[in-house]
Amino acid sequence: HSLHEFLQGLPKCEHHVHLEGCLTPELIFQLAERNGVALPDPATNPAYVSIESLTARYDRFTSLDDFLSFYFEGMAVLRNERDFTDLAWSYFQKAHADGVHHAEVFFDPQVHQSRGVPYETIVAGFAEGCRRAEQELGLSTRLILCFVRHLSVSSAKQVYEEFVQHKHFELGVIHGLGWSSTEVGPPKDMFREIYASAAEKGIPLTAHAGEEGDPTYISAALELGAQRIDHGIRLIEDPELMKRVAREGILLTVCPLSNVRLKCVPDVSHVPIRRFLEAGVKFSINSDDPAYFGGYILDNYCAVQEAFELNVMEWRIIAENSVQESWIPNERKAQLL
């Protein structure tokens, strides 16, 4: 508690936040109205009776897939370019207030495309939110396009083709690629061809792995070319792999409140923060889906502090690794350090 002000003032980088995961129940109801989108019928899904009942339901996720069903239903209210901009802007304002100086944000184009929203609308909307954050808040930002594991490989290939054709990496509109959604079930290497192609172009790659899935999901992601691992908490179950991750300086983007809400751990003290520090595994602390998991980045920092009582030196290591492993030029890193 005593370090709360220190944590607030610590210059933070966020590497693991889904813009669609910043869609609050308030904004879901507002945009449903604005866009004439029907939310699920409260008669069959009582969570959708009100903002309050939906918020209360988020306290009782039973698993990643239980959460994902709400996450994908919620984002169906996003239709127009302005919706995507408003959503990104609402996140960046909150992040700025939490002391975030640099944010790398995920988005899931396949899911919006499956509802008929064009790729250009999604990217233009989110990119405008990033531009505004850079200009008005002085944040640096990075957009990371995420492929989703619950849809077909061919739909992922289609969006990858659009990304390539628009030259969105070369133009600096999208800065990296990731994958997310359902972990256990679909083939671990379903994006092998896409990642091989992207790696050849020098595009930074990350992947959600080792959240619900065992460490073989992490090694598969690394084999496909991921340079970072999103979540990765189950790495502690494979000591050899953990040594390799430490040796190679691979960053884990850890999301403590997400892990608790999705029942990956019983409470924050079971997130392997201390184990990673002791093993020299680099990690950053992030919010994942703050509108769904009960807190933004500072809440995650404070929850870690309450569970582990880290000292100022340990926090400096975490903050410094977060800067060093950001996907930004050295000049920007120097400003953040």
301 binds, among Zn ion, ligand HPA, none (CB under 5 to 8 A by kind): none
CA neighbours closer than 13 Å in the CB half-sphere of residue 235: 35
Residue type, 77: V
Let me know if 211 is a catalytic residue: yes
| CA 99 vs CA 6, 7, 70, 95, 296: distances in Å | 10, 8, 29, 6, 11
Show contacts with ligand HPA in window 107-166 (CB under 6 A): none
Return the H-helix or E-strand segment holding 150: none
Verify binding: residue 20, Zn ion, rule CB under 5 A: no
Verify binding: residue 287, ligand HPA, rule CB under 6 A: no
In angstroms, what is the minimal distance from the CB of 101 to Zn ion? Answer: 21
In angstroms, what is the minimal distance from the CB of 305 to ligand HPA? Answer: 22
Contacts of residue 156, Cβ cutoff 8 Å, sequence gap at least 6: 110, 147, 148, 190, 191, 194
Q: Do 118 and 79 contact (CB within 8 A), yes or no? A: no
Kindly state the tokens that stand for 289. Answer: 């889906």
Residue closer to ligand HPA, measured from CB, 142 or 323: 142
In angstroms, what is the minimal distance from the CB of 241 to Zn ion? Answer: 20
Binding-site member from 57, 79, 208, 261 for ligand HPA (CB under 6 A)? 208
Show contacts with ligand HPA in window 34-73 (CB under 6 A): 64, 71
Verify binding: residue 18, ligand HPA, rule CB under 6 A: yes
Closest CA to 293 of 261, 253, 267, 255: 261
Give residue number: closest CB to ligand HPA: 180
Closest CA to 283 of 257, 309, 245: 245
Binding-site member from 14, 83, 86, 288 for Zn ion (CB under 5 A)? 288
Kindly state the tokens that stand for 55. Answer: 């918020």
In angstroms, what is the minimal distance from the CB of 265 to Zn ion? Answer: 15
Verify binding: residue 325, ligand HPA, rule CB under 6 A: no
Verify binding: residue 86, ligand HPA, rule CB under 6 A: no
The beta strands (E) that lie in 60-184 are given as 100-107, 140-148, 176-180
In angstroms, what is the minimal distance from the CB of 128 to ligand HPA? Answer: 22
Binding-site member from 14, 83, 86, 211 for ligand HPA (CB under 6 A)? 211
Distance (Å, rounded) from C-alpha 228 to C-alpha 195? 13
**DSSP alpha helices (H): ranges in 153-287?**
153-165, 192-200, 215-223, 239-247, 256-261, 273-279
Query: Catalytic one among 211, 212, 237, 306?
Result: 211
Verify binding: residue 180, ligand HPA, rule CB under 6 A: yes
Which residues contribute to the site for ligand HPA (CB under 6 A)? 18, 21, 64, 71, 180-181, 208, 211, 258, 288-289
- Give me the active site residues, please: 211
Binding site for Zn ion (CB under 5 A): 288
